[in-house]
Amino acid sequence: MEQRIIESVLKDLGIKNKNYGANSGSSTGWIKTGGKELVSYSPISGQPIASIVQATRSNYDAIMTRAKTGFEKFRMMPAPERGQIVRDIATVLREKKEALGALITLETGKIKSEGQGEVQEMIDIADFSVGLSRQLHGLTMHSERPFHRMYEQWHPLGIVGIITAFNFPAAVWSWNALIAAVCGDVILFKPSSKTPLTAIAIQNCIAPVVDKYDIDGVFNLIIGERAEVGDPLLNDSRIPLISATGSTAMGKKVATQVAARLGRSLLELGGNNAIIITKDCNLEMALRATLFGAVGTAGQRCTSTRRIIIHTAIKEQFLTLLIKAYEQIKIGDPLKDDTLMGPLIDSQAQANMMQAIETAVKQGAKLVYGGTRLKIPGLEQGSYVTPAIVEAANHYPIVQEETFAPILYIIEYKELEDAVRMHNDVPQGLSSSIFTDSIKDQELFLSHKGSDCGIANVNIGTSGAEIGGAFGGEKETGGGRESGSDAWKNYMRRQTNTINWGENLPLAQGIVFNIKGVQK
Ligand code: NAD
């Protein structure tokens, strides 16, 4: 990893050796934090990139005060004007795409084109949000009472807390922050402590836009430890919505804490995604989708393909092709153009992967490829692995879990109904897919007795969703929906309005409540 590249990327994005961990959006919005130092290490080399002075509880309170003031002004700005702000943010993101994408690669270890792709996703969401800013519409319904009009409208919610996972440190901010912003909310962003620099870079990128529109307090950032920042955020009744992306274990804690104060949570949690491969599918397409799904982002996407449920008749043929393809995958420095798989996020993730493979074998599985630690010359401190292929049965306890690493379980089936049953027989319900040329099989998979996931694809892998659809999953994935479609409704409060423009006061349901001498 070249020091020169790192230095130019950091300079371009305004990252210093030591940074503050709280900001209210504008170029003067940094708060002199006084908490513990947090060092961001690159998973590529294991070397430190830069550090952050984390926020304390009192820094949290200061940011909340600015957020509250910011909201009072921002909610009265017409939504299409808020859309203009997001449009300017999209312009900055286009200008900074290269640098921000490179920083994402540096901090997460995902390959260069995926780092760039993540910024493109931010741009796409921004463009989508600009259009949305003119479409935040409610319904009008006919009143049962004469001379009455009834309709519903959507108001901004207030301060939205955004907790993000390390693996999409920028895109998940945009899914929430940009849509919430056109809705008139202000944002309090708490990133993963594994990827704090990307969060700081986002703040620096948008600061000129915040300055131009004088909206300090709308896009707030806070980086800090659980006791100082995480818990206050979850317990704070000034925050009506917490949108949390991360593991199911985290989601259970967030859901419980936020529910205890009757706040709302929007949860985007772990997946255990499978592709069903039928015997009459286009096998080459299925193979390519499996490769990107299982090995892309080193198996560290919520939508990564973790299980292949394949018809017995083609299993051996597919496995041979898959192993051949795995042997070709270039693993190493994700900043290099020809690398297809970078490192895992840290040594803990590497240890978790090794442990999961050992457990799988103990439970009866067979490791057929990879699953080893890898030393890349010059990058010995990085957490590199060879992706693993494991023949297993769906009911093994380890197969039921999401291991956030490139482990692909191969499971056989004979009847499609069994394949679908096994497919659904896991606690998570995020993304799913079937490869088949049979219309009947496609329709079964998409029917009420088919996939139980939030995302169900035909002849497309599990990984890499477009932003136009609502994104999220069922069961232990948390039930949240973000991004496209009508996911914006999560960030607003619905109000039903009834207006009486007549001379009488009829009650609903025909109730009579007459008091002598008061009504005509
Ligand atoms: P994680 O659960 O360890 O952390 C996620 C975030 O939650 C971090 O910001 C962390 O600081 C915070 N957090 C953890 N415990 C908390 C608590 N008690 N209170 C407040 N905040 C808390 O997850 P990770 O390792 O960063 O990311 C990987 C996980 O995220 C995987 O399970 C993956 O499937 C999931 N993920 C889901 C989606 C989705 O859209 N469904 C997207 C990306 C990642």
State the helix-helix crossing angle for 312-328 and 283-295, rounded to 10 degrees. Answer: 50
For the CA of 304, the closest atom of ligand 1 is: 34
- pLDDT for 91: 98
> Can you tell me which atom of ligand 1 is nearest the CA of 482?
40
Q: Mean pLDDT across the stretch 309-332?
A: 98
Domain range summary for the chain, segments of one domain joined by +: 2-269+482-494, 273-475
Q: Is the predicted pLDDT of residue 12 greater than 90, yes or no?
A: yes
The Cα 246–Cα 169 span in angstroms is 11
The type of residue at 78 is P
Report pLDDT for 4. Answer: 83
Catalytic residue among 114, 118, 121, 268: 268
Q: What is the pLDDT of residues 164-197, one digit of tens each?
A: 999 999 999 999 999 999 999 999 999 999 999 9
* CA distances to 81, 97, 98, 238 from 307, in Å: 46, 33, 34, 42
For atom 17 of ligand 1, the residue with the nearest CA is: 250
Q: Is 302 a catalytic site residue? A: yes
* Distance separating the N- and C-terminal Cα atoms of the chain: 85
Separation of 470 CA from ligand 1 center, angstroms? 19
**Which 3 state secondary structure label does DSSP give 422?**
helix
Mean pLDDT across the stretch 190-210?
98
The number of beta carbons lying within 10 Å of the beta carbon of residue 469 is: 14
pLDDT at 143: 97
Which tokens hold the place of 234?
């979850």
Q: Which helix (H) or strand (E) element contains residue 309?
A: strand 305-311
**pLDDT tens, 136-165?**
999 999 999 999 999 999 999 999 999 999
How confident is the model over 96-149, as pLDDT tens digits? 999 999 999 999 999 999 999 999 999 999 999 999 999 999 999 999 999 999
Ligand 1 atom closest to Cα of residue 194: 26
The tens digit of pLDDT for each residue in 31-59 reads 999 999 999 999 999 999 999 999 999 99
Tokens standing for 163? Answer: 């907790």
| DSSP letter string, 40-55 | EEPTTTS-EEEEEE--
HSE-CB for 407 with a 13 A CA cutoff: 32
| Mean pLDDT confidence for 287-292 | 98
Residue 11 has pLDDT above 70, yes or no: yes
- What is the b/e burial string over 356-380, where b = at least 16 CB atoms within 10 angstroms of the residue's CB? bbebbeeeebebbbbbeebebeebe
Amino acid 1: pLDDT: 56
Amino acid at 292: F
Q: Which residues line ligand 1 (CB under 6 A)?
A: 163-168, 192-193, 226, 230, 234, 245-247, 250, 253-254, 268-271, 302, 402, 404, 430, 477
**Which band of pLDDT confidence, cut at 50, 70 and 90, is reported for residue 517?**
confident
For residue range 232-283, list pLDDT tens digits in order: 999 999 999 999 999 999 999 999 999 999 999 999 999 999 999 999 999 9
Alpha carbons 190 and 233: distance in angstroms, whole number:
9
Is 152 part of the annotated catalytic residue set? no
**What is the C-alpha separation between 486 and 202, in angstroms, rounded?**
25
> What sections of 183-264 are H helices per DSSP?
196-213, 231-235, 248-260
Q: pLDDT per residue over 415-451, tens digit each? A: 999 999 999 999 999 999 999 999 999 999 999 999 9
Q: Give residue 520's pLDDT band: very low, low, confident or very high (50, 70, 90).
A: low
Fold of 273-475: Aldehyde Dehydrogenase; Chain A, domain 2 (3.40.309)
Topology of domain 2-269+482-494 in CATH is Aldehyde Dehydrogenase; Chain A, domain 1 (3.40.605)
